[in-house]
A and B are shown apart, each in its own frame.
Chain A
Amino acid sequence: MELLGRLRDGDEEAFVTLVGRYHQPMLRLARSMVSSEAVAEEAVQDTWLAVVRGIERFEGRSSFKTWLFHILVNRVRSAATREQRNAPAERSHAVDPARFDAQGQWADPLERWVESESGFEAALWAPILKAALESLPARQRAVVVLRDIEGLSSDECCSVLGISAGNQRILLHRGRSRLREMLDVELRRG
């Protein structure tokens, strides 16, 4: 909050600190919503301008990050009406139905993932997860990015994207399920 006070007073250093903290997460969110790098970067820049112009109006009812992401999502959406990202088909099953038998039980045992002490190999898994995120339908990707990467709460995520709690859970469920599946495929391939 002290930082925001300094931004209100026109302190450049405060601006630079905020940029260091939020610019890359904003860019990641913007990129997840539009395929054009230029459009994503422009939306983030516009958001920074909107922030310095509008910081007086930020009332602190939501967290600064939620407010920031909300402005960004609106910018990206208005830019994206002209540039629609090709949406991959949404799938409604968490797990490929072929993995279950006629009674709905697992047809084959689930193979355990080989894990390190920390639970996973971050360096090995990150490229798989990045590719998997890239392959998600945009709405699922936005929810997974906000919840599982940016650490927003369910309420904050709904408020940033302007979606209902139920819708958010469905998107999160499909997105996470798909990421797990792609990890599973890659890890079993070895």
Chain B
Amino acid sequence: MLLIHPKDIACRQAVELVTDYLEGTLSRRDRRRFEFHLRGCPNCSAYLEQIRTTIRATGAIETEDLTPEARQDLIDLYRRWKSE
């Protein structure tokens, strides 16, 4: 049984582990330390939640629609290629 103290990792270090944690690439030991830290640290828990929200919000940025002109340009490009 490993004795882990919450102070084992400081918040400054915990925030650097967030991406590896979300990617599932932390070692089992580091993941345990990280999760243990989170349980005792509302700020780092809030930080992780903000990163998750950031990822969702980034994924929700909408792509501008293709303009009819750009679409026609590409169709012309395709036709020129086919007639080559």
Which of A's residues lie within 8 Å of B, judged by CB? 10, 12, 15-16, 19-20, 23-25, 28, 45, 48-49, 52-53, 93-95, 97, 100, 103-106, 109-110, 112-113, 115, 119-120, 122, 125-126, 129-130, 133, 144, 148-149, 151, 154, 169, 172-173, 176-177, 179-180, 183-184
Contacts and interface: CB of A to CB of B under 8 A. Distances in A.
Interface of B: 7, 10-13, 15-16, 18-20, 23, 25, 42-44, 46-47, 50-51, 53-66, 70-71, 73-75, 77-79, 81-82
Overall SS of chain B's interface: helix
Contacts of B70: 23
Contact of A169 (B20, B55, B73): B20
Contacts of A103: 7, 10
Contact of A130 (B10, B46, B61): B61
A100 B58 contact: no
B54 A183 contact: yes
Contacts of B61: 126, 129-130, 149
